[in-house]
Amino acid sequence: MSDDGRPRLGVGMVGHAFMGAAHSQAWRTAPRFFDLPLRTEMTAVAGRTTESARAAADRLGWLGSEASWKDLVARDDVDLVDICTPGDTHAEIAIAALEAGKHVLCEKPLANSVAEAQQMADAADAAVLRGVVAMVGFTYRRVPAVRLARQLVEEGRIGTVRHVRAQYLQDWLTDEESPLTWRLDKERAGSGALGDIGAHVVDLAQFVTGEQVTGVSGMLETFVAERPVASSSSGASPAGLGGVAGQGRGPVTVDDATAFLARMSGGGIAVFEATRFATGRKNAIRLEVDGSLGSLSFDFEDMNVLHLYDAQEPASTAGFRRIVVTEPEHPYVAHWWPAGHGLGYEHAFTHQVVDLVEALATGTQPAPTFRDGLVVQKVLAAVEESAADRSSWRDV
Amino acid sequence: MSDDGRPRLGVGMVGHAFMGAAHSQAWRTAPRFFDLPLRTEMTAVAGRTTESARAAADRLGWLGSEASWKDLVARDDVDLVDICTPGDTHAEIAIAALEAGKHVLCEKPLANSVAEAQQMADAADAAVLRGVVAMVGFTYRRVPAVRLARQLVEEGRIGTVRHVRAQYLQDWLTDEESPLTWRLDKERAGSGALGDIGAHVVDLAQFVTGEQVTGVSGMLETFVAERPVASSSSGASPAGLGGVAGQGRGPVTVDDATAFLARMSGGGIAVFEATRFATGRKNAIRLEVDGSLGSLSFDFEDMNVLHLYDAQEPASTAGFRRIVVTEPEHPYVAHWWPAGHGLGYEHAFTHQVVDLVEALATGTQPAPTFRDGLVVQKVLAAVEESAADRSSWRDV
Amino acid sequence: MSDDGRPRLGVGMVGHAFMGAAHSQAWRTAPRFFDLPLRTEMTAVAGRTTESARAAADRLGWLGSEASWKDLVARDDVDLVDICTPGDTHAEIAIAALEAGKHVLCEKPLANSVAEAQQMADAADAAVLRGVVAMVGFTYRRVPAVRLARQLVEEGRIGTVRHVRAQYLQDWLTDEESPLTWRLDKERAGSGALGDIGAHVVDLAQFVTGEQVTGVSGMLETFVAERPVASSSSGASPAGLGGVAGQGRGPVTVDDATAFLARMSGGGIAVFEATRFATGRKNAIRLEVDGSLGSLSFDFEDMNVLHLYDAQEPASTAGFRRIVVTEPEHPYVAHWWPAGHGLGYEHAFTHQVVDLVEALATGTQPAPTFRDGLVVQKVLAAVEESAADRSSWRDV
Amino acid sequence: MSDDGRPRLGVGMVGHAFMGAAHSQAWRTAPRFFDLPLRTEMTAVAGRTTESARAAADRLGWLGSEASWKDLVARDDVDLVDICTPGDTHAEIAIAALEAGKHVLCEKPLANSVAEAQQMADAADAAVLRGVVAMVGFTYRRVPAVRLARQLVEEGRIGTVRHVRAQYLQDWLTDEESPLTWRLDKERAGSGALGDIGAHVVDLAQFVTGEQVTGVSGMLETFVAERPVASSSSGASPAGLGGVAGQGRGPVTVDDATAFLARMSGGGIAVFEATRFATGRKNAIRLEVDGSLGSLSFDFEDMNVLHLYDAQEPASTAGFRRIVVTEPEHPYVAHWWPAGHGLGYEHAFTHQVVDLVEALATGTQPAPTFRDGLVVQKVLAAVEESAADRSSWRDV
């Protein structure tokens, strides 16, 4: 992109595994399909070593590289820090970046504990007074079908929310010989399915309904208590999900699965489930919302589709409509392809960049905020407390 | 049912294999769920031997039995003759019954040739002047979802019909060692997939659109030219579909599959396909109708569902609606179960009895008439002629 | 059916509303499609008045009628009493019938309380010593796709059960002006969605997995606390679901919806939901079971279909198979129609009759037993207790 | 990408509308996710004016721009010419590029006539002797689910092909007031639905089966003969599909829809349909292939899914498997995201670049060749001839 008079936004990214690849694709692609109000520059990426960072920069399209996130944060030509590392590092990096006057985009979960998340939200509140903004990456909000769902709820199309059914189903741990990775280590990951994928469906449910979870009753389960030690714990697979068995076995210290009941602030009830043991479900994020006037249904396995039931239609022709969310009238879609040409997983990351850059250019607060991330963290913590206390109710 | 003042309708059925079982279930069931204006009596069933007829009567719930259809037609206590035999016998029985003053319900296809069908339609026209009516059994018209489709077209919900896609897909001949049965013998069956199942989709397409096929270009194919001779050619299996291999091989003299292009009287174009080689499709009757204002889609594998697309909805919420056709507002449904409790294959036969009895009681002509059956026969004949002449166009 | 040497089984039915109609269709139909080892006779039906019973007998095909269930139970020509009345009457009738030496088929839920259910199970245990058997009508077990699911679990096809997701979703109370019926009255119905439909999914989950629910954490919700008083509380609509608004409003004393977490005896976790507020879902009984080797998925809205995922297939061709459960190889199906011709809601009742009669003829105990019904009742009671105590865990 | 020792491949693109945007995204993205054996450089894009070309270069990421395709072809630093213009310009540009020693990637349809396509194929044959290769852009071949379908047929998983059902359904002309664009002008577009989208399904059917269409019987239809003249005929909308009504009406000189029967070289029969009037279908490319041992089904509206029926499975568990084609074992997928994270429309263009670059690096002929494109063109021409001659059969 030529120097065309738009203000420049220098971006620095920390981490370059699965999430780093997705974020890089977004930074590369957003200016090609959207008219961004800022001239984004992929200034530098930080890794753990000079070599790994340089290789990542070359592969992912960053102009420079740094062997330490601190050096990245210190650079004058970096205006925004994009944090793509595991959750245990988020608080330190994000707070440092905000204090250094850098805008922050931080991957979810915001942190591995409520305490850290609280510090981050406080830091974000302080920063905003200085014109520095922070946003947490609940990317699925920006899948066009999810955004459309939100719009329909906002317009009152389904009335008062009675039921929420939200599931995030994966199956990559079904094999008992699948090795340990950092995602199964409480120190690194904070929790298992709960924080990694449960966080997403809590956010989605709150986002789509526009309501808050007010209390929960939960359970956690670890089906396979020990697993083979991976030969490398570095998350070297592209997705950071795999691993290769090494010597001996080690304990799984996080949950394999969680389920919890909840109440929503609007009076409805909700059921949540997140698991890595739903054999045959690879990345099934399923959300159903039943209201007094209609219902919505979404499944990420068919991500370009939203189902809408309108109870105000005559009974003889009422039915769940399969809306193929690829029309120019749909959120984000007009910038891509003609109707019927579906988008993929990574497009939501591009939309995230677009929304963030537009907020920065207009001086508005992008959502979800760190405080939104904190709210999710509190829900997850309440689930853990409830699960530890015979599933008894916990207000959030 | 007690003698309650309603006029009596004595029914005699000819044939007691697959179709005879379905019709019997309908005569038994209709008065239990619907308030019929006539008191139907299952007077007698005719078979080929005294023993087989008697056993069938006992099993299927008929009061009496006859070893010959002629004796059945001659009975004074039989007011209506229900013909469930193969197509090569339809003309003789139906014409005799009509001439004897009996109403006739005749299974499809009306006949094995246009000439026979013409004679039957003429006989029906003559009979109606004497107050005797005839109807052909295109039962799928009375599946609630199909009837609803017809209603929606009639109400103008999809506008001018542009496209019809109609397929009847089965796979019971995929196995090359599946033996010969009467259905593969041109003498008995008239044709193969074309007349047996193609007839259904031609009728369905015409019924739902309210239009006529005006011309065709067709092809026929017999994939497996010879098959093992069945040890019994009697269609002894419950469905009349099976058979057991005997000695030697014999020629298949009918088509395994057919496909044809067509034009509809309203200006639209149509594509038809009927086959017994669609591996994995057991009884998939699929009908799609695209109009200027909307579209309909039906698949008998999901028989309680009709899909409707309304192009007049805003683009952002338009989509195919999955109408579960089990509401009291839907055709026939109020007489059965609460919403959401689906019907099965044989319910359409019960609806056929209901519609027929109501027409008889009110002195109106039930549809489809023998002339409707003749029209279908002419379409099938045109397909055969076209197929024999390099697929060149044939007006119907 | 002629007197053909088979022993006679005289059946008396109590109640003739929605369930009575379904059971009657089963008694009428079973001997037409299945070779029953006993000659079933539909001896008499009992109602609340002479007139209503007589009219029901005529409409539903029963030879005689009684104005009191006690008279029915007292008849020498009644060998089996089929109880189709609301749950608050089950215990009295069933125990009396068993003590009178009559076999009993009792609709679900077995009773409105654990105490009553316990008495019934005890009575059944005592009766069996005298050769008298009892069975409870969890009919959905006999939908062919559900029976197939059970078979596949039994054969080890999905391995160790990790997850159960069971929902029974209806929407007939979504309209806040829908009137009060006996089903919303705790005195008559015992509970709301929990006992009426939640009972079904608890039984289905236990049946398909072959496991027991060992503990629960639950919540109950009544979204609409008051409703218009129906002009008639008699459940006069065919389904017993409807009603017509009368004067004033009255309290809803049962739950509109329930959700509960559970643990299964095999180590898996389960999530249950039952509601009458799932807008757009008419009778969606959904069951997903995820095991270590595979998964199953069923939805009654597509009742002839079972989805199976086999994790032992190569990853490149693994996928949920849509098994259309209409093959002769499938449970019950060979007695009906050819492959691809689906069954409907009421066929499961016919299968129930078939299984019961075969058990009676062979002197084996039919399942589900009253004790199975008691187990379900205990689960429901534990859910109520947990819900009343901040969702804290209750062992069953 | 740094200069890393890999040979350089300078790419020049002609045209920058819908297809140009898709190809640019592919050239930008391929080296980020795949290890390309050549160092691709987006050297220059050619447009019709200096300004439009320069703006396109900036927006789409090309280093330079040219106001004429001839200047682009003449550049020494361009090794490959990527042709994204309408079909009437393909022959001239492609032949000139090949003669100038440039490799060519040419969008489909190869040309607007058989004669032109023949010249292009001849030019490609001549060029290959000089080490210059040509490829035509039937991109849908590289959707992972389609590629998997091809693999399964090749492995014999579905046996002998009996049936092909191939449809390309769009609805953007349903509105009779939708204006004229170059796509409705025979001079520019060659044909309507037939060449634009029918070409795709002919190629897909031949690709997946590995067979040729040997003859056809076809029909063409123009439902709306006149349309409003667009204020701009330049295809200014991103997709080149839209347009804005100007003054007066003009004739539509191409087909709105086509349907044709065909025979395949392996003995099976096929039915093709392509239309812009299938209300509610936006870009539904549907392909069903039924073989003696199994069947496949694909719909681009659910592009990450392939359905496979394996007739060799036991009848009780046979069913169409819904293969979610997002596993590392699936074609192309390992380079993208973890299992369950679907791809979108444009990914197939990236795969096209990858396959082309790998062929160039290894000196092998990439497929589909210009001769493959010619074969498709001949099928389309045969359909037109048949349609003009009462649908009579035409061998290809």
What pLDDT does A189 receive? 87
**Residue D240: is its pLDDT beyond 90?**
no
Interchain CB contact of A302 with B (< 8 Å): no
Interchain CB contact of C314 with A (< 8 Å): no
Interchain CB contact of A156 with B (< 8 Å): no
The yes/no answer to whether this complex scores an ipTM above 0.90 is yes
User: Lowest mean pLDDT: which of A159-168, B2-11, B47-56, D113-122?
Assistant: B2-11
Interchain CB contact of A2 with D (< 8 Å): yes
**Residue B245: is its pLDDT beyond 70?**
no
Q: Which of A217, A273, A309 sits opposite C219 (nearest CB)?
A: A217
Q: How many CA atoms lie within 13 A of B63 on its CB side?
A: 11
**Residue B2: is its pLDDT beyond 60?**
no
Residue by residue, what is the 3-state secondary structure of chain D?
CCCCCCCEEEEEEECCCHHHHHHHHHHHHHHHHCCCCCEEEEEEEECCCHHHHHHHHHHHCCCEEECCHHHHHHCCCCCEEEECCCHHHHHHHHHHHHHCCCEEEEECCCCCCHHHHHHHHHHHHHHHCCCCCEEEECHHHHCHHHHHHHHHHHCCCCCCEEEEEEEEECCCCCCCCCCCCHHHCHHHHCCCHHHHHHHHHHHHHHHHHCCCEEEEEEEEECCCCEEEEECCCCCCCCCCCCCCEEEEEEECCCCCEEEEEEEECCCCEEEEEEECCCCCCCCEEEEEEEECCEEEEEEHHHCCEEEEEECCCCCCCCCEEEEECCCCCCCCHHHCCCCCCCCCCCHHHHHHHHHHHHHHHHCCCCCCCHHHHHHHHHHHHHHHHHHHCCCCCEEC
DSSP state of C26: H
**C-alpha of C85 from chain center:** 13
**Residue D235: is its pLDDT beyond 60?**
no
Average pLDDT (B214-228) is: 97
Average pLDDT along chain B: 94
Provide the pLDDT confidence category of residue D245 given band limits of 50, 70 and 90: low
Contacts of A175 (CB under 8 A, 6+ apart): none
Interchain CB contact of A280 with C (< 8 Å): yes
CA distance D57 to D48: 13
Subunits close to B (at least 3 CB pairs below 8 A):
A, C, D
Average pLDDT (B241-258) is: 79
What pLDDT does A237 receive? 39
Provide the pLDDT confidence category of residue B189 given band limits of 50, 70 and 90: confident
Question: Which residues in chain A are closer than 8 Å to D327, comparing Cβ atoms?
Answer: 282
Question: To the nearest whole percent, how much of chain D has pLDDT over 90?
Answer: 91
- Report residue C195: phi and psi, to 5°: -80, -30
Interchain CB contact of D314 with C (< 8 Å): yes
Question: How far is the CA of C99 from the CAs of A119, A315, C84, D28, in angstroms?
Answer: 71, 48, 19, 82
| Cβ <8 Å between B338 and C284 | no
Question: Which residues in chain B are closer than 8 Å to D217, comparing Cβ atoms?
Answer: 217, 219, 261, 390-391
Nearest-Cα residue of chain A relative to residue D172: A339
Question: Which residues in chain A are closer than 8 Å to C224, comparing Cβ atoms?
Answer: none
Subunits close to D (at least 3 CB pairs below 8 A):
A, B, C
What pLDDT does A4 receive? 78
Answer for the pair B102, B46: CB distance below 8 angstroms, yes or no.
no
Q: Which of C317, C318, C323 sits opposite D317 (nearest CB)?
A: C323
Question: Which residues in chain B are closer than 8 Å to C28, comparing Cβ atoms?
Answer: 28-29, 32
Q: What is the pLDDT of residues D55-101, one digit of tens each?
A: 999 999 999 999 999 999 999 999 999 999 999 999 999 999 999 99
Q: What is the pLDDT of residues B6-27, one digit of tens each?
A: 999 999 999 999 999 999 999 9
| Cβ <8 Å between C257 and A162 | yes
Interchain CB contact of C255 with A (< 8 Å): no
What is the distance in angstroms between the CA of the first residue and the CA of the last residue of chain B? Answer: 47
CA distance B320 to A75: 53
The β-bridge relationship of strands C213-221 and C103-107 is unpaired
| Cβ <8 Å between D174 and B217 | no
Question: Which residues in chain C are closer than 8 Å to A171, comparing Cβ atoms?
Answer: 290, 311
Q: Which of A22, A41, A23, A21 is nearest to A31 (CA)?
A: A41
Question: Which residues in chain A are closer than 8 Å to B326, comparing Cβ atoms?
Answer: none
**Residue B239: is its pLDDT beyond 90?**
no
Report the DSSP beta bridge partners of residue B230: B245
Amino acid at B31: P
| Cβ <8 Å between D311 and B162 | no
Q: What is the pLDDT of residues D330-367, one digit of tens each?
A: 999 999 999 999 999 999 999 999 999 999 999 999 99
Report the DSSP beta bridge partners of residue C307: C297, C322
What pLDDT does C3 receive? 64
Question: To the nearest whole percent, how much of chain B has pLDDT over 90?
Answer: 91
What pLDDT does C240 receive? 42
Interchain CB contact of B319 with A (< 8 Å): yes
Interchain CB contact of C391 with A (< 8 Å): yes
**Residue D272: is its pLDDT beyond 50?**
yes
Selected residue of C316, C324, C325, C332 to mutate for chain D interface (largest D Cβ count, 10 A):
C316
pLDDT tens-place values along chain C, 396 residues long: 556 789 999 999 999 999 999 999 999 999 999 999 999 999 999 999 999 999 999 999 999 999 999 999 999 999 999 999 999 999 999 999 999 999 999 999 899 999 999 999 999 999 999 999 999 999 999 999 999 999 999 999 999 999 999 999 999 999 999 999 888 999 888 899 999 999 999 999 999 999 999 999 999 999 999 999 976 544 433 344 444 556 789 999 999 999 999 999 999 999 999 999 999 999 999 999 999 999 999 999 999 999 999 999 999 999 999 999 999 999 999 999 999 999 999 999 999 999 999 999 999 999 999 999 999 999 999 999 999 999 999 999
CA distance C160 to A328: 47
Taking only residues 198 to 217 of chain B, the set having a beta carbon closer than 8 angstroms to any beta carbon of chain D reads 217
Q: Which of B239, B327, B342 sits opposite C344 (nearest CB)?
A: B342
CA distance C69 to C16: 12
| Cβ <8 Å between B294 and D280 | yes
Q: Which of B300, B324, B347 sits opposite C301 (nearest CB)?
A: B324
Residue B89 burial class via C-beta count within 10 angstroms: exposed 0-12, middle 13-18, buried 19 and up? middle
What pLDDT does C232 receive? 55
- The nearest CA of chain C is from the CA of B385 a distance in Å of 31
pTM score, whole prediction:
0.96
- The nearest CA of chain D is from the CA of A60 a distance in Å of 6
Interchain CB contact of C342 with B (< 8 Å): yes
Q: Which of D279, C55, C184 is nearest to B288 (CA)?
A: D279
| Cβ <8 Å between D315 and C323 | no
Interchain CB contact of B323 with A (< 8 Å): yes
| Cβ <8 Å between A315 and B323 | no
Cis peptide before B368 (omega within 30 of 0): yes
Residue with token string 């030690």: A229
Question: How far is the CA of B262 from the CAs of B161, B220, B278, in angstroms?
Answer: 13, 15, 21
3-state helix, strand, coil split of chain C in percent (to 5) is: 35, 25, 40
Q: Which of C2, C58, C347 sits opposite B2 (nearest CB)?
A: C58
What pLDDT does A242 receive? 45
Q: In chain A, which stretches have pLDDT less than 50?
A: 233-243
The Cα angle at residue C216 between residues C211 and C219, in degrees rounded to 5:
135
Contacts of B5 (CB under 8 A, 6+ apart): none
Question: Which residues in chain C are closer than 8 Å to D332, comparing Cβ atoms?
Answer: none
The Cα angle at residue B53 between residues B48 and B58, in degrees rounded to 5:
165
Answer for the pair C227, C250: CB distance below 8 angstroms, yes or no.
yes
| Cβ <8 Å between C328 and D315 | yes
Amino acid at B106: C
Domains of chain A: 8-137 (3.40.50.720), 142-343 (3.30.360.10)
Interchain CB contact of C153 with D (< 8 Å): no
Question: Which residues in chain A are closer than 8 Å to B319, comparing Cβ atoms?
Answer: 307-308, 321-324
- The nearest CA of chain C is from the CA of A141 a distance in Å of 24
- The nearest CA of chain B is from the CA of A321 a distance in Å of 4
| Cβ <8 Å between B320 and A317 | no
Q: Which of D94, D170, D175, D326 is nearest to A337 (CA)?
A: D170
CA distance C150 to C141: 9
- The nearest CA of chain B is from the CA of D256 a distance in Å of 10
Q: What is the pLDDT of residues B132-146, one digit of tens each?
A: 999 999 999 999 999
**Residue B238: is its pLDDT beyond 60?**
no
What pLDDT does C247 receive? 74
DSSP state of A28: H
Average pLDDT (D107-123) is: 95
Average pLDDT (B186-190) is: 88
Selected residue of D151, D154, D309, D316 to mutate for chain C interface (largest C Cβ count, 10 A):
D316
Tokens of B159: 């506008």
Interchain CB contact of B302 with D (< 8 Å): no
Average pLDDT (B79-102) is: 97
Selected residue of A345, A347, A349, A351 to mutate for chain D interface (largest D Cβ count, 10 A):
A345
